[in-house]
Amino acid sequence: MPINIPDGLPAKRTLHQEHIFALEEETASEQRIRPLRFILLNLMPTKVETETQILRLMSKSPIQVNVDFMRVSTHESTHVSKDHLVKFYDTFDKFKDRNYDGMIITGAPVEQMAFDEVDYWDELCEIIDWSQKHVFSTMYLCWGALAGLWHLYQIPKKQLPQKLFGVFPQRLCDEYNFLTNGFDEVHNMPHSRHAAIEASELLEHPELHVLSEGFETGPAIIATRDFHEIYVTGHFEYGRDTLAQEYWRDFKRGLPIRKPENYFPDDNPENQPIFTWRSHANLLYRNWINWVYQMTPYEMDRIPDEIAALRADSDGMVDKFEA
């Protein structure tokens, strides 16, 4: 949430330079407030677990958020009851005439497939194209991030020689970015994927800004400079035991699986993992929701026009904030 300060307070300039929301009394008194509307496109087979993890992070913000749940129609989910899908999820047709303040597109366990081999790829591309005009800010997670970067920027994914699996340190690249404001210079993030993107590919796209990265993981948090798109290549939403559950699942099936790196104390899978990424995960989602809250238009039918105006000028949001 922003802080309200007296008109003309000298600290305002410094706070704005550090990208901290500070509203003068006159501006604060004119703010119009409503709940935010977000939509979750859940591509994970474990839908209940994933929705719980993401909602847990979103709940850490003091801002009221209404959440709708979307599923793809061109893929049949087998790991969740049909009753749950019918009761809580709708397909794209239900939402395509609406506007949203925010959207989350999850990952999916399909990194080893070519994008066009995924049975719902065409539908996902249609949803991403729709979000470009109808969603003020979209966050893409893990495979969802790889998919979004490929569809929107033709940045290819590369297959890794072995699964990137564990909790890895990430270096903060921009101390005063709104999304990572308050982050330590090094933060941890869980990763569980077979594919990655080359940092060199991002150099061809100056509109994309790397906010944190790791020597082993590559870019971890990427955002367009207007925050219309945010790409998180790892799994900040994972709970303490999620990687352990993945490890034991494959171990008991007799599948080749390495212990997740930097995760089990003493590298012993019998030991309870230490939750070393929770605070930064909460902070990222809190910062994001706060950003959307401050910048999205009050009238939701204005969202497409506001997006178009901001996309035409990559510095538009900063200009709007500093006005």
Indicate which residues carry an active-site annotation: 142, 235, 237
Q: What is the DSSP letter of 261?
A: B
Among 252, 250, 189, 239, residue whose Cα is nearest residue 219 = 189
* CA dist., res. 320 & res. 18, Å (int): 15
Q: Which long-range contacts (CB under 8 A, 24 or more apart) does 118-121 make?
A: 119/74, 119/75, 120/43, 120/72, 120/73, 120/74, 120/75
* CA dist., res. 29 & res. 214, Å (int): 43
Tokens 């204005």 belong to which residue? 302
Contacts of 210 (CB under 8 A, 6+ apart): 173, 199, 202, 219, 221, 222
DSSP of 233-260: -S-TT--TTHHHHHHHHHHHTT---PPP
Strands 229-232 and 135-141: parallel
Residue pair 232/141 in contact by the 8 Å Cβ criterion: yes
